[in-house]
Amino acid sequence: MNSVPVIPDNAPFSAEQRAWLNGFLAGVLNRGSAAAAVSSPQKATTPLLIAFGSQSGNAESLAKRLAREASGRGFAARAAGLDSLQPADLVKEQNVLLITSTWGEGDMPDNAVSFWDSINQNGSSPKLDGVQYSVLALGDKNYGDTYCLAGRKLDLRLAELGAKRILDRVDCDVDFDDLAKTWSANAFMALSGGTAVTTVTAAPAPVAEPEETGYTKKNPFPAKLILNTSLNTRGSSKDTRHIGFSLAGSGLTYEVGDALGVFVQNCTEVVDAVIAAHAFDPQADVPLPDGGSAPLREALIRHYEVRSLFGKVPEPGITLAAFMEKLRKLQPRLYSIASSIKAHADEVHLCIAAVRYNTDGVPHKGVASTFLADRLPLGETTGIYFHAANHFRLPADLTKPVIMVGPGTGIAPFRAFLEEREATQAPGKNWLFFGDQKRASDFLYHDQIIEWVQKGHLTRLDTAFSRDQVEKIYVQTRMLQAAAELWQWLEEGAHFYVCGDAKRMAKDVDEALHSVIQTAGGKSADEAAAYVAQMKKEKRYARDVY
């Protein structure tokens, strides 16, 4: 066995860099003998890059957790966002595990866009011969054809560029934990020179993963509902609620920018209608998604998604067992946090639009939003957990200006940001673009926002009430009207944030941002695109869109 190369202690590197370099050099020189690294965890020999494309943090936390686990197994592992990587970095690092979600309608998550653009351009990407890789794709089967599309595209492209797939890609639906464990265990084994399992089919060898402690998605905190007030007034066509939970006794805290996961229940009337339509016995014992069993009615209220079954004609003659097979697990919903813990000790606030609509004359209601708006009584509890959003953070430098674009419920994280900046007495300027249907009835958090303007805390406020006049006025209309000042703020180093509707608003706001940079900044379309790409790289352009 070759001796492990040693970067001398007096070399100009931090301990961390030295350890990584030693691991990297050892990996380069000892390729093929990497299995030894697994049996002697102290010596990090096989370099391993766990790259992530992540919008709301799932792929990011998974990548970071797996990097810690891989380090414990003797790899010189590190996790890195795709926004910090160039294709050439993969060639340098050789062993790459790539975890990515899919966002929008089959799109790359924001932090993977420029990496994807650079490997997808014919001729400009380096060949990836010598790179060994595997992809874990996170997604949601509800998205149909675009299920895990970003992961599928990256997987194909890496192979096209000559990289060697050491393990077949694994596509994961919303509950990705078990498949991710299997995939990572097999990938570590294949990279360590163990049996090269190419398809994940069976349970892996057990992985020594540190158990999460405290209140998590798997162990949610039963939080008491303490606030449920309407943010719209008479005459509004919307029903937006200010919702608050008590964190008392939980020891939990959060950062502004994070989201809250909320466990919810289906409407009993909807469940009863579904059971009656199928003529099932509501007390029949049925299996639960995570093991165990419960009476059918209870299982449908708390554990399974039944929304899509409501108002549907039942399949003729379907048995209860076949019916249960078709059901998906009821998932908790995420909400952007609308408060700063510095302003509301032991509380977390949300801004939620109750989803209600009709199709073919049948009224439908969103499961979670109406559970919180209508069915969870004040003082009762439901399970909650915090979901970190490291991509959506206020600048660490309190003097930096921030520009926030948040129409509708998109205001949520910006109420939190403004409360936080007030509590920390951040001297940087604050600019809010807010929009909704009508000023008289839909100006969410009106009093607090106007008070911030009067105090000078909110340096500039631009509102866009879309239905107060014949033509639509949207937040991006206001951005374009204020192009010169917006450009000036960007040039002063402002951080630009967008929250709310992903399908239409976020795309239009992105277009308006490019347009402002072109018109006020005197740039060509390509230069504006490069300017925006640089903002993303510097983490000065962040989106929390859904």
Ligand X SMILES: Cc1cc2nc3c(=O)[nH]c(=O)nc-3n(C[C@H](O)[C@H](O)[C@H](O)COP(=O)(O)OP(=O)(O)OC[C@H]3O[C@@H](n4cnc5c(N)ncnc54)[C@H](O)[C@@H]3O)c2cc1C
**Residues of the shown chain interacting with ligand X in the complex, contacts defined by CB under 6 A:** 56, 259, 307, 333-336, 351-353, 355, 357, 359, 366-369, 409, 412, 544, 546
- In whole angstroms, what is the distance from residue 53 CA to residue 60 CA? 7
Judged by CB, which is closer to ligand FMN: 65, or 523?
Answer: 65
Q: Where are the alpha helices (DSSP H) in 295-443?
A: 296-302, 320-326, 367-370, 412-423, 439-442
Judged by CB, which is closer to ligand NAP: 94, or 240?
Answer: 240
Judged by CB, which is closer to ligand NAP: 263, or 443?
Answer: 443
Amino acid at 253: T
Q: Which of residues 170-199 bind ligand FMN (CB under 6 A)?
A: none
User: Residue 29 to residues 9, 22, 398: CA-CA distances in angstroms?
Assistant: 20, 11, 46
Q: Which of residues 166-205 bind ligand NAP (CB under 6 A)?
A: none
103 lies in the site for ligand FMN, by CB under 6 A: yes
Closest distance of CB 363 from ligand X, Å: 11
* DSSP 3-state percent helix, strand, coil across the chain (nearest 5): 35, 20, 40
Closest distance of CB 14 from ligand X, Å: 35
HEC assignment per residue over 189-216: HHHCCCCCCCCCCCCCCCCCCCCCCCCC
508 lies in the site for ligand NAP, by CB under 6 A: yes
User: What phi and psi, each to the nearest 5 degrees, are found at residue 368?
Assistant: -75, -45
∠ Cα 7 12 18 (to 5°): 40
467 lies in the site for ligand NAP, by CB under 6 A: yes
According to CB under 6 A, which one of 46, 409, 463, 518 is a site residue for ligand NAP? 409
Q: Find the Cα–Cα–Cα–Cα dihedral 313, 319, 322, 324, rounded to 10°.
A: 80
Binding letters toward ligand FMN, positions 27-66, x by CB under 6 A: ---------------------------xxxxxxx------
Judged by CB, which is closer to ligand NAP: 318, or 362?
Answer: 362
351 binds, among ligand NAP, ligand FMN, ligand X, none (CB under 5 to 8 A by kind): ligand X
Closest distance of CB 358 from ligand NAP, Å: 12
101 binds, among ligand X, ligand NAP, ligand FMN, none (CB under 5 to 8 A by kind): ligand FMN
SS3 47: strand
474 lies in the site for ligand NAP, by CB under 6 A: yes
Closest distance of CB 91 from ligand FMN, Å: 25
Size of residue set near ligand NAP by CB under 6 A: 22
Beta strands of 231-319 (E only): which ranges? 240-246, 259-262, 285-287, 293-295
Closest distance of CB 67 from ligand FMN, Å: 15
Q: Which residue is nearest to ligand FMN (CB)?
A: 139
User: Residue 93 to residues 27, 28, 66, 80, 130: CA-CA distances in angstroms?
Assistant: 10, 9, 17, 12, 10
Helix (H) or strand (E) holding 24: helix 15-29
Span of 21-29, 159-167, 433-441, 480-488 interacting with ligand NAP by CB under 6 A: 433-441
140 lies in the site for ligand NAP, by CB under 6 A: no
User: What phi and psi, each to the nearest 5 degrees, are found at residue 337?
Assistant: -75, 135
Extract the tokens encoding 490. Answer: 């960007």
From the list 335, 267, 276, 348, the residue with the least C-alpha distance to 300 is: 267
Q: Widest CA span of the chain, in angstroms?
A: 78
231 lies in the site for ligand NAP, by CB under 6 A: no
According to CB under 6 A, which one of 217, 501, 515, 533 is a site residue for ligand NAP? 501
For 312-316, the CB contacts below 8 A with 24+ separation are: 312/277, 313/277, 314/277, 314/278
257 lies in the site for ligand FMN, by CB under 6 A: no
Question: How many Cα atoms are found within 13 Å in the side-chain-facing hemisphere of 132?
Answer: 18
According to CB under 6 A, which one of 45, 46, 102, 463 is a site residue for ligand FMN? 102
Q: Which residue is nearest to ligand X (CB)?
A: 366
66 binds, among ligand X, ligand NAP, ligand FMN, none (CB under 5 to 8 A by kind): none
Closest distance of CB 281 from ligand FMN, Å: 35
Q: Which of residues 420-479 bind ligand FMN (CB under 6 A)?
A: none
SS3 539: coil
Determine how many CB atoms are found less than 10 A away from the CB of residue 261.
17
505 binds, among ligand X, ligand FMN, ligand NAP, none (CB under 5 to 8 A by kind): ligand NAP
Q: Which residue is nearest to ligand NAP (CB)?
A: 408
CB 56 within 8 A of CB 259: yes
Point out which residues bind ligand NAP (CB under 6 A): 238, 240, 353, 407-410, 435-437, 466-467, 472, 474-476, 500-501, 504-505, 508, 546
Point out which residues bind ligand FMN (CB under 6 A): 54-60, 101-106, 109, 138-140, 143, 146-149, 502, 546
